């Protein structure tokens, strides 16, 4: 672990193994930290905050620029480690490292743009001055599906704002986190500003984040169920909270769109990271006259996808993260088929050609999906594309919004008026219009409803780590 500028073991002395989900091999170990380790890290962050919060924006920016440079120098090594630890194909891992580094660069620049303001006062002898100050120590929890970029997306704005941070990475991907904290260390970020606590059981660390009054903000990316628990606990001390939670993204293909072009886009984003992305389309709505053409093109593309170890050339489908993820996907597919869905292709676990030791599920296309099926209501987080026909714009908007999630959504249409209408009526924090990648470090990322609170990235991303302070001056 990395606490107060030093690498060390857990106080218990325990370690836990880290596995490659493609073949089950042990690839390393990480310290198995707990509540006491988290408390030490919070204390270190609190002590460091006293000095770090007083540094200039230009000083903080300099550290982030240096971290960006080092991360780019290590891009290939980081990507290869990610493929071994998380499973995604190497090309996708390289893209993620670049995306993660982009947050360091963006917030290195944004640190210098935390502006205050003066406000006209009602009295001639009065002046109002507003400034923005760092909220304090941040407790951060990051997921396994994007084990590098989700770290920089939280750490970069936090330290750019003048906060200090304690981060607990996902238990499935601690090795990637360790390497990113080596980047921060080598960039010269002062002791205690960034701290890393790894743990096999996330509960004790999370409980310390919630209960310790030294933590003034929680930021979490993960499941809605866990996010609600953290939010409920944080309310006891009125801690600031940012939550990026689950999604159930609709992908809407209207009759004026090119069905081949739409199917190409839908399959690319659906099977991104083997479907293990919170912005992955979960319900693909296709206007009825295009269903046959859409399915034909989608099936053609799926059948050309190659599953396997992400280190191998040509592989585009990696393993699922573990047995529970595999079982969930199988359960959803079996439920849909038992209730009348049609299996176009895929639909089974892959065990041939050396895949039996990993958690591979065939990229799958289902048609005839109805609202009584699990896959219509539950987030899949796997390589299954369910297609649902619709007839009218009003009908599809009602179906798309019929979920307690509200993170990402997608529209394919060539009608600009329709694009604007649907963009405004979809109750989702992100809408891609003929665009399957509506994200960037410069853009705000986050959801509505039970998909979360707050935004990451963009100028909104640094605002999440700032308090607003008003000064009222009498000049008599």
244 in active site: yes
Nearest to 346 by CA among 373, 375, 367, 325: 367
- How many Å apart are CA 147 and CA 69, to the nearest integer? 19
With contact defined as beta carbons under 8 Å apart, do 177 and 142 qualify? Answer: yes
The number of beta carbons lying within 10 Å of the beta carbon of residue 5 is 16
Beta bridge partners of 343: 366
The long-range contacts involving 440-446, CB below 8 angstroms and separated by at least 24 positions, are 440/102, 441/99, 441/102, 441/103, 441/105, 441/106, 441/107, 441/153, 442/106, 445/153, 445/244, 446/244, 446/407
Based on the residue annotation, tell me whether 176 is a catalytic residue of this protein: no
DSSP letter at 386 equals E
E-assigned strand segments in 75-136: 117-119, 126-134
Q: Of 179, 208, 244, 393, which residue is the catalytic one?
A: 244
Query: Which is catalytic among the residues 110, 278, 450, 464?
Result: 278
Burial class of residue 288, CB neighbours in 10 A (0-12, 13-18, 19+): exposed
Token pair in block for residue 462: 């640094």
Strands of the sheet with 452-453, listed across from one edge: 6-7, 2-3, 194-196, 164-168, 137-141, 215-221, 240-244, 452-453
Distances (CA, A) of 182 to 76, 187, 291, 393: 15, 8, 50, 51
DSSP state of 427: -
The residues assigned a catalytic role are 244, 278
């Amino acid at each position: 672990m990395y606490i107060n500028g030093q690498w060390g073991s857990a106080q218990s002395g325990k370690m836990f193994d880290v596995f490659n989900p493609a073949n089950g091999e042990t690839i390393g170990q990480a310290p198995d930290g707990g509540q006491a380790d988290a408390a030490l890290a919070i204390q270190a962050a609190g002590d460091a905050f006293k000095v770090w919060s007083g540094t200039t924006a230009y000083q903080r920016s300099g550290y982030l620029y240096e971290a960006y440079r080092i991360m780019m120098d290590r891009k290939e090594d980081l990507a290869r480690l990610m493929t071994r630890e998380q499973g995604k194909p190497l090309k996708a891992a390289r893209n993620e490292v670049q995306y993660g580094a982009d947050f360091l660069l963006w917030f290195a620049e944004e640190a210098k743009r935390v502006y205050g303001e003066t406000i006209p006062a009602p009295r001639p002898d009065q002046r109002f001055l507003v400034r923005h100050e760092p909220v304090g120590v941040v407790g951060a929890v990051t997921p396994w599906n994007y084990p590098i970029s989700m770290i920089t997306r939280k750490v970069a704005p936090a330290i750019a704002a003048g906060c200090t941070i304690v981060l607990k990475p996902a238990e499935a991907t601690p090795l990637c986190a360790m390497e990113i904290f080596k980047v921060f260390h080598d960039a010269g970020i002062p002791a205690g500003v960034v701290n890393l606590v790894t743990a096999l059981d996330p509960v004790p660390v999370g409980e310390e984040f919630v209960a310790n009054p030294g933590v003034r903000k929680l930021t979490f990316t993960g499941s809605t169920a866990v996010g609600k628990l953290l939010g409920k606990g944080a309310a006891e001390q009125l801690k600031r909270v940012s939550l990026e939670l689950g999604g159930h993204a609709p992908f809407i293909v209207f009759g004026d769109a090119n069905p081949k072009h739409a199917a190409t886009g839908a399959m690319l984003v659906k099977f991104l990271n083997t479907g293990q992305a919170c912005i992955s389309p979960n319900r693909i709505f296709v206007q009825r006259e295009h269903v046959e053409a859409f399915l034909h093109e989608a099936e053609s593309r799926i059948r050309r996808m190659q599953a396997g170890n992400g280190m191998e050339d040509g592989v585009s489908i990696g393993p699922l993260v573990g047995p529970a993820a595999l079982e969930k996907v199988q359960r959803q597919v079996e439920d849909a088929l038992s209730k009348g869905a049609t299996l176009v292709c895929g639909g089974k676990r892959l065990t041939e050609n050396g895949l039996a030791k990993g958690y591979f599920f065939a990229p799958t296309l289902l048609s005839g999906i109805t609202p009584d099926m699990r896959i219509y209501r539950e987030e899949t987080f796997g390589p299954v594309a369910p297609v649902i026909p619709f007839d009218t714009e009003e009908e599809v908007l009602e179906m798309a919004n019929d979920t307690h999630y509200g993170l990402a959504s997608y529209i394919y249409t060539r009608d600009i008026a329709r694009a604007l209408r649907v963009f405004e009526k979809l109750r989702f924090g992100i809408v891609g219009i003929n665009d399957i990648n509506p994200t960037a470090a410069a853009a705000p990322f986050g959801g509505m409803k039970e998909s979360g609170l707050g935004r990451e990235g963009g100028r909104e991303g640094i605002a999440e780590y700032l308090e607003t302070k008003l000064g009222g001056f009498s000049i008599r």
